[in-house]
Structure 1
């Protein structure tokens, strides 16, 4: 047990870097920034797997050693407990007066009647009757064996919980996706690509997920006058595996802490935000409209920032196209509040939307085959002069900017988006079962008290019966005094 406690402490200590340092499975870009900022120290931590703590060799080693230690601790204790259950209560001590609880009295009833009363009073106790060499009759009784049962249940449940969590990390996965809340975007759980971010289990490659599809028809939100949200509800339509062939769609109102469960997966509502709709009309008359989501920078007022990127149509020459790509970047305020020309938001709901935008033209760096952060432009393109700012303005819905080459950038309006998480954990039911067992086990081990009681009844010199009762609490003695007084009074017929 000492070894198990030391390993449990080491496991908690080893988990601390996972909370203090950025983790690659959660935010790979943040890890890269951290390494670049801290130089050799950041690279050393990377080699030591500190950016992927829970999948590291050293964390897994402690985890496995803890399980082995718990098994090595619990099996002998279980065998000893099973042996103790088959063993009769211990012999009655010769000198009961040395017990912490003791009473002695002389009664007119026979030893047989005293023993009969004791058996009745000790109903539910494990007890054994014995006859000593001088003919004195005794009873040895014990109670509270379920305390050790609760202790064993607690530790076995802890071991089961560790194993269940490990199974979840091996075969489970989590993925996050942003979906526009107007029914125009359909998400299907078909591999890794549909997700914006995906954290697979150690034995998951992303191809064996439960097949289902969903789309968000609308999003209901209600804010109090203070700006605090009172209601979030994403109105979903979804198809489980059995519905994919029939084409049937089911409705579900997805709320915070009320996930949709389908085919072993759970879909959670994590948040929401806004996607400004911009259109670009080129000198040729061709028009492109984009509604890329922007991320909130202020969770209270939902002031958001982002970048909406356009590739010019009709240009096949790559070099020429890279000089005419357009990005609209800046801030979106759902309820605009101006400080001069500086835009801020005073409320999170769409009461008076406005954007403060910069229009950039040139090379966005989207043709090099590498993924880009959708919320920002590549700063290297700006630093090298390949992407230049050509306009800046605050716009309300319907407002527009005309660039020097005749291109018109128009702010069309705002759409809502919701942030969803898909979670799959094949061991989640067992995690719940073992967690409940831990609570029940530790509750039993704390509430139930181990105690012993002995009764000796033998003839006295005057022909009456001498009754001795002794008691011993195997654990905390609190409360045993009253129980002992009650039992000893029942054995002696109320005479002390």
Structure 2
């Protein structure tokens, strides 16, 4: 049995004929990565990311942040119970620590560095290169002129050199070239520093980001309340702070151990109660003094708002102040305990404050008896009381101090292992009946009240306290330097005008010279037309001007160059997204 006939080999064309060869998977991946990198490192992408960074920072300015004020965040949850949880899931109450904000930040860094490095290399090459050769047809330029002078070419060229030197066209910004037919050209350019200012601006932006990153990594910030009258605070560990926010690379074990002592505090107020100035007389010891063990050597400093103390790479700010009433409890057996702790202002205009001063009866070892004998003096403090039955404050200064106190007795919950606020008692203890009110009174300094078991509670006096903030930012100097450079670069890029000026001198015979001029501004700026007119008048004088012949009849051919025939601009791919 014979097999069916088959087509000749040339009749069976391969299926892939006429199709481009398929790239390998590795080449496709490399092409994708290359295109992605080009898009990421374009200036257009950098500007978009910069806009996104500013947009992403808006919630940090409009919404309360946990790192700054947890109480405002809690109040926001109370005011907006539906919206607040949704915002919290997106990290809008801690914007600057969210992964999406960090992603924008890092992408901006990569984009800026990736697009600035090639631009710096191009700028370095451009600074070493000669000005662009004279275009073949100067009549196509926005500014041009032509005239025939009764002078020799050398005399015209000498005047052009002198003129350009007087108009700040530096020697390295000028170049002379010979052309066929005996023609000579002069190319001049100035304003290259404009690009330098632009690069300095963008590089300074990168430096700013680096400085901010250094502060986030190795900086820290802590707040502490210190009583006036000689109380001290030492920067030895994070345990001495009331609140502490450490950088990502700070664990609190290597803080500079300087100390601050608050000797006195004074505040000036306007008649309406608005604060005019805060001043704290402090003494401080540097880390070197502390490590040397010299406890008698204290340096004095007048600490004021916006005038921080700078010591050992840290800054100590005066944030605010308040009052700390002092109470003395005398038990029936004659034992006494004095307690003084800061009370929290609830009205910043009048400094009406609330708080809780807690006591434990000394000498009690039985756990049950100890829990039942604890005392808390809570209530309101008015630095200038109105004098009525209901305590209110009418002025923030200490003119008529008075407290309205509730004395609570029972179990304060100090031994259950849970932390509690120093400004209030545990409300759960009050609701359960473990803590009950046994007395209420309004007291002036020196007055006291007696409880049912004979215990006396006396209001002694009041001491101001100050709120201090210690900030350590190793990137502060870096940010300052690059901020100055950023403004300087921006000023240069806006003030410097980049323009070009060309002269072509063609011998016309009989000792005469045809002079052709052309000018071009790299950017649309006012003023170059007037400058070109001055240069034209200085070169051509009162000679009659005429337009050059059309391009086909122009016998002068420019030498080969890498620019376009009309303007001498560089050819080739130049789009990296630059603006």
Fold equivalence (TM over 0.5): yes
Q: Which moved more, 1:135-144 or 1:115-124?
A: 115-124
The aligned counterpart of 1:128 is 175
Instruction: Give the alignment partner of residue 98 of structure 1, picking from 128, 133, 140.
Output: 140
Alignment of 1:401-416 (within 5 A): 401-416=449-464
Q: Report the equivalent of 2:334.
A: 285
Match of 1:377 in 2: 425
Answer yes or no: is 1:454 the counterpart of 2:502: yes
Indicate if the aligned counterparts of 1:150 and 1:442 stay in contact, CA closer than 8 A.
yes
Q: How far does residue 423 in structure 1 lie from its aligned partner after superposition?
A: 0.7
Cα offset for 1:50? 4.8
The corresponding residue for 1:202 is 248
Q: Is the 8 A contact 1:114 1:492 kept in 2?
A: no
Match of 2:151 in 1: 109
Q: How does 1:346-365 map to 2 (within 5 A)?
A: 346-365=394-413
1:56 aligns with 2:111: no
Match of 2:527 among 476, 479, 483: 479
**Are 1:215 and 2:261 counterparts?**
yes
Checking the alignment, whether the CA contact within 8 Å between 1:233 and 1:254 is kept in structure 2 is: yes
8 A contact 2:381–2:404 mirrored in 1: yes
**In structure 2, what is the Cα distance between the partners aligned to 1:355 and 1:347?**
15
Contact persistence 2:375–2:410 (CA under 8 A):
yes
Cα 1:260–1:343 shift into 2, 3 Å? same
Structure 1 unmatched runs, 5+:
none
Q: CA deviation at 1:166?
A: 0.7
TM-score normalised by the chain length of structure 1: 0.93
Is 1:187 aligned to residue 233 of structure 2?
yes
Q: Distance in 2 between matches of 1:429 and 1:251?
A: 25
Question: How far, CA to CA, are the matches of 1:362 and 1:20 in structure 2?
Answer: 44
Matched, 1:469 2:511: no
Q: Structure 1: how far apart are the matches of 2:65 and 2:278? A: 29
Quick one: structure 1 residues 178 and 100, their matched pair in 2 at CA, closer, same or farther if it must change by over 3 Å?
same
Report which stretch shifted further, 94-103 or 68-77: 94-103
TM normalised by structure 2 equals 0.80
Task: Call closer, same or farther: CA 1:459–1:235 in 2, change over 3 Å.
Answer: same
CA distance in 2, matches of 1:273, 1:133: 88
Matched residue count:
494
Report the equivalent of 2:301.
Answer: 252
Alignment match of 1:230 (pick from 276, 284, 287): 276
Which of 405, 420, 442 lines up with 2:468 in the alignment? 420
| Cα distance between partner residues in 1 of 2:348 and 2:513 | 82
Contact 2:152–2:511, Cα closer than 8 Å, also in 1: no
Kindly tell me: are residues 163 and 341 of structure 1, through their superposed partners in 2, closer, same or farther at Cα, counting changes over 3 Å? same
The worse-fitting range, judged by mean Cα deviation, of 465-474 and 35-44 is 35-44
Distance 1:383 1:119 in 2: 96
How far apart, CA to CA, are the structure 1 residues paired with 2:392 and 2:217? 45
**Which shifted more, 82-91 or 460-469?**
460-469
Deviation string, structure 1 residues 303-351 (Cα, Å, up to 9, x no partner): 222111112222112222222222222221111124x422222221111
C-alpha distance in structure 2 between counterparts of 1:314 and 1:455, whole Å: 104
Where does residue 271 of structure 1 map in the other structure? 320
Give the C-alpha shift of residue 164 in structure 1. Answer: 1.3
Work out the CA distance in 2 between the residues paired with 1:393 and 1:109. 109
Show the counterpart of 1:328. Answer: 377
Q: Quick check: 1:177 aligned with 2:224?
A: yes
